[in-house]
Amino acid sequence: MLKKILPCILVAMVCIACSGDVQREAMRLYNDAEADFAAGNFNAAKLKLDSIDKQHRADVDFRRMADTLRWEIEMQENLRNIAYYDSVISLSVPQVENMKKNFVSTGDSAILGYDVFVHRSQGRSYLPHTNLVCEVRDNGELYMISVFMGRELNHTSYEVSADGGIFKESGEVPLSTAANNRFDDLGVRWEYVTYRPALQNGTAEFVADYADKKIMVTLNGEKSVYKFYLDKRDKTAIKESVEFASMLKALLKMQRDKRVAENNVVWIQDKLNKKKAE
């Protein structure tokens, strides 16, 4: 009888010893995670907490402790991000406002549902002519418009090029779309083709990068093309429009990211409060 009992006792003792080793390893990981958290090494701390979740799935108490510590880490990460966003936003807002002084609103926000800004040198007082014009929407998106005045061309795209054989070409805007607008006025043909960001293929940035050089624009029509050079005023307007759109979009993204972080803080704090109340 004793011979039958002894193996069972030995197995039980081994299991108890193993269980103790497992708990000590979980405790070591947790303590190390706490130390990393205190030192500001958030990623290292989270990796150790992940190890607790993966390697000690049966130890509910340690996994709950790991969850609570992870929330505390995420709380500090979000608070740190908010502080960073605040510092960048405080610098970006005056820069954007200063740049905005070079632009005027088209005044169509009530109709469109959003505001549109054009460079002062390309505003409504600007005598329309064959040209490239920029619009910056209030979400930071930049739209290019190719304007043609003359005979019927029915152009659907454009190319910008500089000396040395370098060029960029826009995508096509079909004649059948609302973005390709054409009309005749007193015997003169007017064509306004609007290119959303996805169709610009870097043409606006090309003009901005080579604004100090001669830039030729080629309007691609159904049966022919029309070529002209951008004047200095329009190159400057496009360059500043690209810069304004980029700065505005970056600022808006930073403000959105800050709001997300603030919402995360509220959610995590609620979790921690409920945990303390248990």
pLDDT interval class at 98 (50, 70, 90): very high
Q: 21 and 110 share a domain?
A: no
Looking at residue 23, what is its pLDDT?
75
The reply to whether 85 falls in a domain is yes
Q: 182, 199, 197: which is closest to 241 by C-alpha? A: 197
Q: 84 and 180 share a domain?
A: no
Does 238 have pLDDT greater than 50? yes
Tens of pLDDT, residue by residue over 204-235, are 999 999 999 999 999 999 999 999 999 999 99
Looking at residue 6, what is its pLDDT?
40
Q: 189 and 72 share a domain?
A: no
Looking at residue 162, what is its pLDDT?
96
Q: 36 and 174 share a domain?
A: no
Amino acid at 127: L
Looking at residue 148, what is its pLDDT?
96
The reply to whether 232 falls in a domain is yes
Rounded Cα gap, residues 57 and 52, in angstroms: 7
Looking at residue 14, what is its pLDDT?
36
Q: 32 and 49 share a domain?
A: yes
The reply to whether 262 falls in a domain is no
Q: 23 and 46 share a domain?
A: yes
| Mean local confidence (pLDDT), 78-107 | 95
Q: 135 and 88 share a domain?
A: no
In the block, tokens 């409504």 appear at 124
Q: Which domain holds residue 111?
A: 103-256
Tens of pLDDT, residue by residue over 125-151, are 666 789 999 999 999 999 999 999 999
**Buried b / exposed e across 29-64, counting CB within 10 Å, b at 16+?**
bbebbbebbeeeebeebbebbebbeeebeebeebbe
| Mean local confidence (pLDDT), 237-262 | 98
Q: What percent of the chain is predicted at pLDDT more than 70?
A: 89
pLDDT interval class at 10 (50, 70, 90): very low
Domain count, the chain: 2
Q: 236 and 122 share a domain?
A: yes
Rounded Cα gap, residues 134 and 193, in angstroms: 12
The reply to whether 134 falls in a domain is yes
Does 164 have pLDDT greater than 50? yes
Looking at residue 20, what is its pLDDT?
56
Q: What percent of the chain is predicted at pLDDT more than 90?
A: 65
pLDDT interval class at 103 (50, 70, 90): very high
Does 152 have pLDDT greater than 90? yes
pLDDT interval class at 50 (50, 70, 90): confident
Looking at residue 3, what is its pLDDT?
47
Q: Are strands 225-229 and 166-169 parallel, antiparallel or unpaired?
A: unpaired
Looking at residue 169, what is its pLDDT?
98
The reply to whether 274 falls in a domain is no
Give the residue, 71 or 11, on which the prediction is more confident: 71
pLDDT interval class at 21 (50, 70, 90): low
Residue 263 class from Cβ within 10 Å (0-12 exposed, 13-18 middle, 19+ buried)? exposed
Average pLDDT, the chain: 88
